[in-house]
Amino acid sequence: MAPEPRRSESGFPIEPLYGPAEPVERLGAPGEYPFTRGVYPSMYTGRPWTMRQYAGFGTAAESNARYKQLIANGTTGLSVAFDLPTQMGYDSDAPVAAGEVGKVGVAIDSVEDMGVLFDGIPLGGVSTSMTINAPGSLLLLLYQLVGESQGVAPRQLTGTIQNDVLKEYIARGTYIFPPAPSLRLVADVFRYCRAEIPKWNTISISGYHMAEAGADPAQEIAFTLANGIEYVRTAVAAGMDVDEFAPRLSFFFVARSTLLEEVAKFRAARRIWARLMRDTFGAKDPRSLMLRFHTQTAGVQLTAQQPEVNLVRVTVQALAAVFGGTQSLHTNSFDEAIALPTEKAARLALRTQQVLAHETDVTATVDPFAGSYAVEAMTDELEATAVALIERIESMGGAVAAIETGYQKSEIERTAYRVQQETDSGERTVIGVNRFQLAAEEPYEPLRVDPAIEARQVERLARLRAERDRAAVDRALAALSRAAEGSDNVLYPMKEALAARATVGEVSDALRAVWGTYTPVDRF
């Protein structure tokens, strides 16, 4: 028996689904090809999106305390931020890591750190997203090892690793290896998770970081989906059937303050991906056609001036993501343009999602913007523009070939330069920056990371190296090197090395010695 529809404040029923008297084939129904109106039939009328809060700073113990606070406040999924040395595959005592340990995320050097990070958090009952790319396989295996130490079978683990190295060459720069071995590592993760951790989302193909670097909405979805095409081709070339891995693919987009265009962007992206998977790759499983995505509100649009105004921006951006049909959402804290978020700011960011989910009627009906003349026209325009960009990349030989010429990076830089010119001239309004400024900013005390954490983390590493079986570590690293030189899946010997308490830096160095490192191309 269907549940009674929710009622409006005025007393009339809100239908769970609205639509035209005659079906519109181009739109389809929610949960049906081409998924323009959402990937699930009931969307938020069944349950709200997963509310994630991206967090991580300092030591594993400090981040663990923040995760427990977020869970107590109602977070339904964890999202881990790693510091730059971890993202680049360096240990905290590496000379290049000096001054960066624990600054923009948590420092993870070994399985012991990962154990502290999730101490007291049962991994069988929480979904965890990890924003980690070049060394994504390492952090996934560390998570699996901690789960096993808790008695959680790998088949019970749920979550996502970003594992999207192509966008690192385009927009972020935390790459390690050249594209070819990086793609091999992605394919090895696909195969490993299919066999060992089947509920895990093996990649989160990210447009967010390209948008933060300056990509406009059409570029964001075009360059992201072009990378997705490359990953699918890589997996198929490695001998996998598309329907074996495609249902575990996920995506990651930004939500800007331009609400209508963002809603249209998400609709266009779903439609393009469904058509690509069906017509280009011959996917048969409906789940392979679904573009499921996580959204984060736009950090680049936050301002250090009048930071409380960011609460308004984040609310509008979160609405754009929800109206666009996101599967999970992170709302930025209002003080992130100044420093890492305080506990109060992080709680307010989570409360923003909870108000939208529980105090408004946006979850009462599926796809409330369907039939909007403006949104449908914008969807068509975005789709056409994005498809033209994808075709341009394909004409260059695909995403990797385009990356190697610097194409996507230079296009994003051109857009970022134009937006900055518009802001500087006042053509584009940014409240508190070029209009409605204050004569003097009100003081704000940001969260500060204790600089002594670097020394403490280095001491932990020294103890680890002194206490472990060095011969066992050397044997495991040698086995990893042999696998990297050949064609075996490197994740199996990598797990053995990490279980023997090899560090993230040591494992990454073993692969660097075989595969080399990447040097970028600039053409702007």
Averaged over 2-30, what is the pLDDT?
78
Query: What's the pLDDT at 434?
Result: 97
Structure tokens at 20: 């035209």
Could you tell me the pLDDT band of residue 18, with boundaries at 50, 70 and 90? confident
Query: What's the pLDDT at 276?
Result: 98
Query: What's the pLDDT at 21?
Result: 63
Q: State how far the alpha carbon of 295 is from the alpha carbons of 15, 263, 346, 453, in Å.
A: 26, 12, 16, 31
**C-beta neighbour count of 279 within 10 angstroms:** 9
Averaged over 113-140, what is the pLDDT?
96
Could you tell me the pLDDT band of residue 1, with boundaries at 50, 70 and 90? low
Averaged over 503-519, what is the pLDDT?
97
Query: What's the pLDDT at 411?
Result: 97
Query: What's the pLDDT at 187?
Result: 96
Query: What's the pLDDT at 282?
Result: 98
Could you tell me the pLDDT band of residue 23, with boundaries at 50, 70 and 90? low
Give yes or no for residue 524 having a pLDDT over 60.
no
Could you tell me the pLDDT band of residue 450, with boundaries at 50, 70 and 90? confident
- Specify the range with the lowest mean pLDDT, choosing from 25-39, 134-148, 418-432: 25-39
Q: State how far the alpha carbon of 155 is from the alpha carbons of 116, 331, 515, in Å.
A: 22, 29, 31
Query: What's the pLDDT at 3?
Result: 65
Could you tell me the pLDDT band of residue 61, with boundaries at 50, 70 and 90? very high
Q: What is the DSSP letter of 7?
A: B
Give yes or no for residue 523 having a pLDDT over 70.
no
Q: Closest Cα partner for 53 from 66, 36, 44?
A: 66
Question: SS3 for 263?
Answer: helix
> Could you read off the pLDDT of 311-356 as tens digits, one per residue?
999 999 999 999 999 999 999 999 999 998 999 999 999 999 999 9
Separation between Cα atoms, residue 170 and residue 141, nearest integer Å? 26
Q: Does the model's pTM come out above 0.75?
A: yes
> Could you read off the pLDDT of 224-256 as tens digits, one per residue?
999 999 999 999 999 999 999 999 999 999 999
Domain ranges, ordered by start, for the chain: 43-425, 454-515
Measured over the CA atoms of residue 480, residue 470, residue 506 and residue 85, the dihedral's sign is positive
Separation between Cα atoms, residue 119 and residue 447, nearest integer Å? 23
Query: What's the pLDDT at 12?
Result: 78
Could you tell me the pLDDT band of residue 22, with boundaries at 50, 70 and 90? low
Give yes or no for residue 300 having a pLDDT over 60.
yes
Mean per-residue pLDDT over the chain, rounded: 95
Q: State how far the alpha carbon of 340 is from the alpha carbons of 61, 128, 449, 464, in Å.
A: 16, 20, 8, 29
Structure-token match 């624990």, residue found: 102
Query: What's the pLDDT at 6?
Result: 81
Averaged over 463-487, what is the pLDDT?
98
User: Which of 2.40.110.10, 3.20.20.70, 3.40.50.970, 3.20.20.240 is the CATH number of 43-425?
Assistant: 3.20.20.240
Q: What beta strand segments (E) does 134-266 contain?
A: 158-161, 200-201, 203-206, 249-255
CA torsion angle for 89, 111, 83, 307 (degrees, to 10)? Answer: 160
Question: SS3 for 205?
Answer: strand
> Could you read off the pLDDT of 122-133 as tens digits, one per residue?
999 999 999 999
